[in-house]
Every structure is written in C-alpha cells, then in structure tokens.
Amino acid sequence: MTLSPEIVVATELETTPDVATPEGSPLSVDVWPAEGDEGNQMTWYGLGEDSPEAVGGYRVYRWNPATKAYEKIADLGSDPVPYFDTGAKRGTTSYYWVTAVAADGTESLSAGGWVVTAPAQ
C-alpha cells in the first residue's frame, strides 16, 4: 500500500497593526505583563502638570486585529498612572496607543507601546 502525503497550507494570523504610530507625540509609553491575572500594566510620561495637553486626562487604545483598528479601552483622568488593561488576552501580543486629552477634548498625537504576555497556566 502506497500512501500519499497530504499537503497542508498554514497561514499565521497577522496581529501587527496596519496603522503606524504617528511621530511627534509628547508622551512616551512603557508596557509590560502585570502580575497574575491583572493583564498588562502601562505607564506614560512626558507631560508636565502645567501642560495644556494633559488637562483633560488620557485615552488608552488597544489594537484589535479583527477590526484592524485601535479601539478605545479607557478614558482616564489627569493622574491615572499606572493603568492595568485587565481585558488583554494572555498568550498574545497587545499593541497600545495613549493620547493626552486637552480641556477642549482634542487629543495629542498617539504614543505607542506593545507587550507579549505569557499564556495562562
């Protein structure tokens, strides 16, 4: 009996954002896996207390590969650091944008960061 091998084509799910993070943000973002089931932890810096861009607070966005867009996950006050994204899935790479929000609601250019989290054990 002669067996023929079956050919299988596998493709990798592309999770990298299709949208580039703009240059020139007044913020810098650091992201890392949080302890236990807390998701991902992030901090940002770069604006002083008197900066008009930060008066209204901050917005956090996470890349959704299904919709191919950064989606807002949090509207935060002017002193939210650190922020925990408890909705981030374990065992994946998460991409984030953070913007400063002025008192009139306008947003600064986005600062970006990403993190790889370990699978759930």
Residue type, 101: V
- How is the chain split into domains, by residue range? 28-116
d(CA 52, CA 33): 31
* CATH number assigned to the domain covering 28-116: 2.60.40.10
Span 50-82, pLDDT tens digits: 676 667 889 999 999 999 999 999 999 887 789
d(CA 48, CA 40): 25
d(CA 76, CA 81): 9
Question: What are the angstrom distances between the C-alpha of 36 and each of 31, 60, 89, 102?
Answer: 15, 21, 12, 34
Span 31-41, pLDDT tens digits: 999 887 778 99
- By residue count, the chain amounts to 121
Picking from 17, 49, 20, 42, the residue whose alpha carbon sits closest to that of residue 109 is 20
pTM equals: 0.82
